[in-house]
Amino acid sequence: MALSGVDLTIGDREFVAVLGKSGSGKSTLLRVLAGLDTLDSGIVEWSGSESATRSHTGVVFQQPLLMPWLTVLENVEFGQRFASQRDRIDGNRARDLLSRFGLDALAQRRPAQLSGGQAQRVAIIRAAAVAPRLLLLDEPFSALDPAVRGDLRGWLAELADELGMTVVLVTHDVEEALELADRIVLLGDNGTIRGQWCLESADRVDPVLRSAIFDSYRDPVGERS
């Protein structure tokens, strides 16, 4: 069983980081939230109703998965072609987002002409361009070198904040979770939730809380909150 007894409520505009070791069920949880996997039992509710979830979400994986034959601008527009909530889409949104988040100069390039970090920024903008209620990120920075990861974290925090998005970020990186999340959810063995921590700004540098999270991540046994 990939997930067991997971009971999670995510608030509007909340930034949740899902931490856990390999095989703990992080990607499965994300795929269930995205409507890409179905549950054998249990439910996913949106504001109290079990509506189709896929149309409400934008998903970004470890690889940017851009269309190599399209320009950056066309890649960002591409997602909009399939968006089911067309009434929420502004025709200039792709260009506007690229410009607001520092990618204007790349608009006419092809994916092969981008660095790994630039390509992942484009993938995130593409997901955000359909105005999802929930942005789901599955280890989006893990293929990048540490300096680029640092830059992208700050950029993502700004984007999520400015666009008022609810975000679920799956990561192996405790520092990344500490820097970005309003709440950290730790998955333990067998897809159970082993611990949750809500973080205010000061908590991110609190050595006691930090070591509790690091210790729980390294040795995820027992219930910790």
Ligand X SMILES: Nc1ncnc2c1ncn2[C@@H]1O[C@H](COP(=O)(O)OP(=O)(O)OP(=O)(O)O)[C@@H](O)[C@H]1O
CA torsion, ordered 69, 62, 166, 181, to nearest 10 deg: -150
Let me know the angle formed at the C-alpha of 198 by 193 and 202, rounded to the nearest 5 degrees: 145
Question: Least distance to ligand X from the beta carbon of 70, Å?
Answer: 28
27 C-beta neighbours (distance < 10 Å), count: 20
| Closest among 171, 158, 163, 223 to 193, alpha carbons compared | 223
Q: Cβ of residue 27: shortest distance to ligand X, in angstroms?
A: 3
Contact with ligand X (CB under 6 A): which of 2, 122, 123, 144? 2
| Residue 215 Cβ vs ligand X, minimum distance, rounded to whole Å | 19
Q: Is the Cβ of residue 71 or residue 216 nearer to ligand X in the bound state?
A: 216
Closer of 24 and 118 to ligand X (Cβ): 24
Show the tokens assigned to 125: 């903008």
At 122, the amino acid letter reads V
166-171 vs 15-20, strand pairing mode: parallel
For residue 43, the minimal CB distance to ligand X (Å) is: 19
Site map 19..58 versus ligand X, x via CB under 6 A: -x-xxxxxxx------------------------------
Q: Which of the 8 DSSP states describes residue 48?
A: T
CB 216 to ligand X: min, Å: 15
3-state secondary structure of 57: strand
Cβ distance to ligand X smaller for residue 65 or 67:
65
Footprint on residues 73-132 left by ligand X (CB under 6 A): none
Question: What is d(CA 91, CA 89) in angstroms, rounded to the nearest whole number?
Answer: 6
- Pair 213, 46: CB distance under 8 Å: no
Least distance in Å: CB of 106 to ligand X? 29
Q: Interaction with ligand X in 7-26: which residues (CB under 6 A)?
A: 20, 22-26
Size of the site for ligand X (CB under 6 A): 9
Binding site for ligand X (CB under 6 A): 2, 20, 22-28
